[in-house]
Amino acid sequence: MDVSNTRRIVLLGKSGVGKSSLANIILGEAKFKVDHCNDSKLKCSSVETKSIDGRSITLIDTPGFFDAGRSEAETKPEMVRCLTESAPGPHAILILLQVEKFTEHERAVITQMFQYFSEDAFKHAVIVFTHGDQLPEGMKIEEYVEQSEGLSDLVHKCGGRCHVFDSKYWKSNEGHQYRSNQFQVGELLNTIDKIVIENNPAYYTDESLQDIERAIEREEGRIRAASGNMTQEEVRKQAKGNVLKKQVDNAPRTWITKNKAEDSAMLKFLLYP
């Protein structure tokens, strides 16, 4: 599998919104563990890569970074892992919401998410709704979004990109084509293709991700020099693991902050001893 041509996709959202279920729908098999306890403290980031319709796709399923009650010490290692796994940057950022009323709490969660990214992240963001069975009969998700000023503004900020899935009832092609996960996966992958084509660079990046990528590339060089019979995919995987361990083991408990300049400086300290 050509790692350099892999589309990296990060799934963000609260615990229980359906990130793991969506990842399994996209992959077409149960690779991610679906936990219905809604306790983000018991979860950690998971990563899977698969070829889908001629595309190499890497899904990075994150725990509930933005759940109430999670301390910085709990979220720090997972945010570091998310950044490392998506380096040099994700091609698409899927923001998951349920088909339900868009409240001030959801607004606050979205605001918090993008405190960790720059405004450029919206160029790669897609709003993905779960629990599609709650969508009124005959209604498309774009029509549902238009009923809420908050949702409409959010989707507009993400370039008008939105899709809807359902992990219970949309598993077959019976009935209307729109209410089929298979149809929606095809539409979502087409949307991600358009994001890649329209953006330069094709993936989202910032200074922190660039620092991580440079550290991974240095580690790849060391691994190749020590073992010349490994595939590029094996080298990349080991390099990411080594860099991640170094970051998590050496980072002070107060990192990550919400100050990107401070975070980038801390990454340089950790990655360039």
The predicted pLDDT at position 58 comes to 95
**Window from 61-75, 98-112, 129-143 with minimum mean pLDDT:** 61-75
- Average of per-residue pLDDT values in the chain: 83
Cβ-in-10-Å burial (0-12, 13-18, 19+) of 197 comes to exposed
Per-residue model confidence (pLDDT) at position 254: 47
Q: Which residue has the higher pLDDT, 247 or 59?
A: 59
Higher pLDDT, 171 or 194: 194
> What is the DSSP-derived secondary structure letter of residue 54?
T
Q: Which residues pair with residue 125 across a beta bridge?
A: 93
Q: Which residue, 140, 143, 142, 182, is CA-closest to 162? A: 142
Fold of the domain spanning 3-198:
Rossmann fold (3.40.50)
pTM: 0.85
Q: pLDDT digits over 122-155, tens only? A: 999 999 999 999 999 889 999 999 999 999 999 9
Average pLDDT of span 39-63: 78
Q: Domain extents for the chain?
A: 3-198, 207-271
Is the distance from CB of 96 to CB of 130 less than 8 angstroms? yes
- The lowest-confidence range among 16-20, 55-59, 114-118, 221-225 is 114-118
**Which residue carries 């698969």 as its tokens?**
50
